[in-house]
Amino acid sequence: MIRTPLRPLARILDARARGENPEAIERENLRLRHEQMRDRARARAEGRLLILGFLFLCAFTAVGGRMAVLAASDEPGEPRAIASGAAIVAQRADITDRRGRILATNLATHSLYAQPPLMIDKARAARELAEIFPDLDRDRLLRQFTGKRKFLWIKRQISPEQMQQVHDIGDPGLLFGPREMRLYPNGKLAAHVLGGTRFGQEGVHSAEVVGVAGVEKAFDEYLRDPANGAAPLRLSLDLTVQAAARRVLAGGMTLLNAKGAAAVLMDVHTGEVISLISLPDFDPNDRPAPLNMGHPSDSPLFNRAVQGVYELGSTFKTFAIAQALELGLVEPDTMIDTEGPLRWGKYSINDFHDYGDKLSVTDVIVESSNIGTAHIAQKIGAERQRDFLGRLGLLKPTGLEMVEAPGIEPLLPAKWSELSTMTISYGHGLSVSPLHLAAAYATIANGGRRIEPTLLAGNGVQQGERVISETVSAKVRKMLRQVVVRGTASMADVEGYAVAGKTGSADKPKPTGGYYKDRVISTFASMFPADDPRYVLVVTLDEPEDRTGSEPRRTAGWTAVPVAAEIIRRVAPLLGLRPAIEPAPGFGVTLAGN
Amino acid sequence: MRPFYFVLSTLAVMALAFWAYQENYRTRQALDQVESLQTQIAEMRATLAMLRAEWAYLNRPERLAELAELNFDRLGLMPLRPEQFGLIRQVSYPLAELPAISTPIDLVGNLEQKP
């Protein structure tokens, strides 16, 4: 840059020549220079300010932009303000009876495990643990603690008291984890229906509870599904009825020296099983291990009402008679030949007593004549009989919602010959479970519509296939009522409830073939009240023997019938059935005040 | 006039910021409270489940039957029998008491023929 001099000589000389002050020129130039300098400095400062402003703008934009991004974007956080409906509950659902009383629930307990590397005084811990839990072995524990293991379970479930005691040992290597425990507060009641549970996948913080039998296994998926929100599974059982029936049945079983007993009480319209008992039973809280040897029916785990298939004897006569009436082959007063013994090939069919030459159809069933029923079955024929029993549901597994039920196939004869037809008509040659029988009797009782037994409450009246007509159903009920009024089941005449039913005493088959002479399955299949049945009750006793008389009595009339009558007497009022009798005297209101 | 508006808007911004800050903290507090309440609810649910189980256990029919037998002389509880059903019209309710006739009242009246 060329610097302009403050005192240019030419202008000074000019000024001097004109007599002006040359200082003014210098001042003027100085002023101009200062102005130039000032303008430059201002331009620079303005530039700096601009840059600074731009930087600030950038910074604020960045901060503001980030804030906007943060404000706009929904950061996935814990949804803390959600209303607590607890729609998802990771817990096995409860099981209740039809009136909502708890049959199975969960209890929070703790599990105890050890981490040996963290343990301080292993010998002392082993000693004190063995003191708290007598079933643990001290030396074995010590070996496990001092071995190579980094983790071991000590107890799957412990009570709060035991937990406190273990806590008092004070070893940091003994640790607790939460553990859900399945609790059956009613103990043995309904044990077979509920089944039981075990632990599946185990972790320190929780363990899977898995059903092993009965309803617990059949509905395992449903009970474990968290989406149900722990809505309980409502069964059709009635706890009070179940308790009363079990008490009576257990008493009867003891009095009659029976090996086992089963009872099924079912609503004839809805097919709901109100009570299902099999004795001997077990405590599902402490489910016994299955038998390793012997017949499974020797184990208390065996459900005689569902899993046990037996030849149920004369109770089957009802079906032969009902079918003959439905087909119009006979009428209740048709006379049937009962002259015995009835010979068929090398077999002969006998009656318990000799009933003379002829009996009416009603009397055939009242007196329980095998020969008479066999004659009726001959008129029906094998094909039609098989079809009819199939439509009653006696030839297939029942659809009961227990894991055992679908596997229980009735035992059919290999070849359904005419002889089979005759024997099946009075209950030999076809083995079904008491539950099958109850469902078939419910079909007969409710006016002829097929009933599928169910354990779930609240599904309403079943509109099944029609098996027999209303009129035939009424006729059969009338005959069955006669069995109680004047026939083999006279002990079942419970005052006020008009019980109708049919007895059945079947000799037990030997495993080697043939039949035992002194071992029977005695059954009473009943319905009440007879004019408009509401419930069906099937009671089966395994090898009962009434030893009160001079010689042991085994027929159902002396064994299953009185037990069933007592069950009805106890249970019918609990079911809310009004008896058709006068109330006891002294019925009134006593005025009381305070 | 303009500086007054500047001051006013600055004050308004400050007041709003303060209000937003307070709201924010109140919300957080409420959420914390909700969380602690939910913990409490969970605890109470667990207690409730435990109590239900205990109730069911104490009311199991077996135990009730035993208790009824033990206390038979005081309670006299028997199983429900068919005879215990009755109809409401068979109940002999006591008759409602009529008020006693104390002092006789003289009734005097005139019979008038209606036109």
The answer, for B48 touching chain A at a CB cutoff of 8 Å, is no
C-beta of residue A176 within 8 angstroms of C-beta of residue A154: no
Q: Which of A176-190, A205-219, A343-357 has the lowest mean pLDDT?
A: A343-357
- Per cent of chain A over pLDDT 70 is 94
The residues spanned by each domain of chain B are 6-78
Q: Where are the alpha helices (DSSP H) in B59-115?
A: 61-70, 72-75
pLDDT for position A5: 82
Task: Quote the pTM value.
Answer: 0.78
Minimum Cα–Cα distance from B27: chain A residue? A81
Minimum Cα–Cα distance from A241: chain B residue? B61
- Shortest Cα distance from B35 to chain A (angstroms)? 7
Minimum Cα–Cα distance from A244: chain B residue? B61
The answer, for B84 touching chain A at a CB cutoff of 8 Å, is yes
Average pLDDT score, chain A: 87
The answer, for B38 touching chain A at a CB cutoff of 8 Å, is yes
Structure tokens at A276: 């299902």
Q: Which residues contact A344 (CB under 8 A, 6 or more apart)?
A: A418, A419, A422
pLDDT for position A87: 44
pLDDT for position B105: 72
CB contact under 8 Å between A495 and B82, yes or no, is yes
pLDDT digits (tens, 9 = 90+) for A46-95: 999 999 999 999 999 999 999 888 877 766 665 555 555 544 456 788 89
Has residue A594 got a pLDDT over 70?
Answer: no
- Shortest Cα distance from A254 to chain B (angstroms)? 18
pLDDT band at A352 (very low <50, low <70, confident <90, very high): confident
- Per cent of chain A over pLDDT 90 is 40
C-beta of residue A194 within 8 angstroms of C-beta of residue A102: no
Element at A112 (helix H, strand E): strand A102-114
How would you write A158-187 as a 3-class SS string? ECHHHHHHHHHHCCCCEEEEEEEEEECCCC
Q: Which of A28-42, A67-81, A358-372, A508-522 has the lowest mean pLDDT?
A: A67-81
- Residue A239 is nearest to which of B45, B52, B61, comparing CB atoms? B61
The answer, for B78 touching chain A at a CB cutoff of 8 Å, is no
Has residue A404 got a pLDDT over 50?
Answer: yes
Half-sphere exposure of A19 (CA within 13 A, CB side): 0
pLDDT band at A184 (very low <50, low <70, confident <90, very high): very high
pLDDT for position A321: 93
Please state the φ and ψ torsions of residue A462, each to the nearest 5 degrees: -85, 135
Measured between beta carbons, which residues in chain B are less than 8 angstroms from residue A579? 82-83, 85
pLDDT band at A244 (very low <50, low <70, confident <90, very high): very high
- Per cent of chain B over pLDDT 90 is 39
Measured between beta carbons, which residues in chain B are less than 8 angstroms from residue A588? 91-92
The answer, for B96 touching chain A at a CB cutoff of 8 Å, is no
Q: Which residues contact A300 (CB under 8 A, 6 or more apart)?
A: A280, A281, A282, A288
pLDDT for position B26: 93
A414, A321, A412: which is closest to A361 by C-alpha? A321
pLDDT for position A77: 61
Measured between beta carbons, which residues in chain A are less than 8 angstroms from residue B91? 587-589
C-beta of residue B53 within 8 angstroms of C-beta of residue A94: no
Q: What is the CA radius of gyration of chain A?
A: 45
Measured between beta carbons, which residues in chain A are less than 8 angstroms from residue B83? 579, 581, 583-584
Matching residue, tokens 């004839």: A268
Average pLDDT over every residue of A443-457: 92
Paired with A234 in beta bridges are A96
Structure tokens at A461: 């009246």
Half-sphere exposure of B25 (CA within 13 A, CB side): 5
Paired with A180 in beta bridges are A108
Structure tokens at A471: 């009129």
pLDDT for position A298: 82
pLDDT for position A581: 62
Cβ neighbours of A579 (radius 10 Å) = 20
The answer, for B43 touching chain A at a CB cutoff of 8 Å, is no
Cβ neighbours of A330 (radius 10 Å) = 20
pLDDT digits (tens, 9 = 90+) for B4-50: 999 999 999 999 999 998 998 899 899 899 889 988 988 898 888 88
Q: Which of B26, B60, B90, B97 to mutate: most A Cβ within 10 Å? A: B60
- Residue B90 is nearest to which of A102, A570, A587, comparing CB atoms? A587
A236, A217, A6: which is closest to A92 by C-alpha? A217
CA–CA distance, A191 with A214 (Å, rounded to integer): 9
A527, A321, A506, A488: which is closest to A411 by C-alpha? A506
- Residue A584 is nearest to which of B56, B83, B93, comparing CB atoms? B83
Has residue B115 got a pLDDT over 70?
Answer: no
Element at B46 (helix H, strand E): helix B2-58
pLDDT for position A1: 61
What does DSSP say about strands A174-183 and A207-213: parallel, antiparallel, or unpaired? Answer: unpaired
Average pLDDT over every residue of A537-565: 90
Minimum Cα–Cα distance from A576: chain B residue? B85
pLDDT digits (tens, 9 = 90+) for A451-492: 999 999 988 888 888 999 999 999 999 999 999 988 888 888
CA–CA distance, A214 with A403 (Å, rounded to integer): 5
Matching residue, tokens 């299953």: A560
CB contact under 8 Å between A573 and B80, yes or no, is yes
More confident: A329 or B113: A329
Has residue A9 got a pLDDT over 80?
Answer: yes
Has residue A577 got a pLDDT over 70?
Answer: yes
pLDDT for position A201: 82
Average pLDDT over every residue of A101-113: 89
Domains contained in chain A, CATH given: 95-234 (3.90.1310.10), 240-288+295-574 (3.40.710.10)
E strands along A8-70, which residues? none
pLDDT for position B109: 76
Please state the φ and ψ torsions of residue A441, each to the nearest 5 degrees: -65, -35
Minimum Cα–Cα distance from B40: chain A residue? A84
pLDDT for position A588: 57
Structure tokens at B57: 């256990």
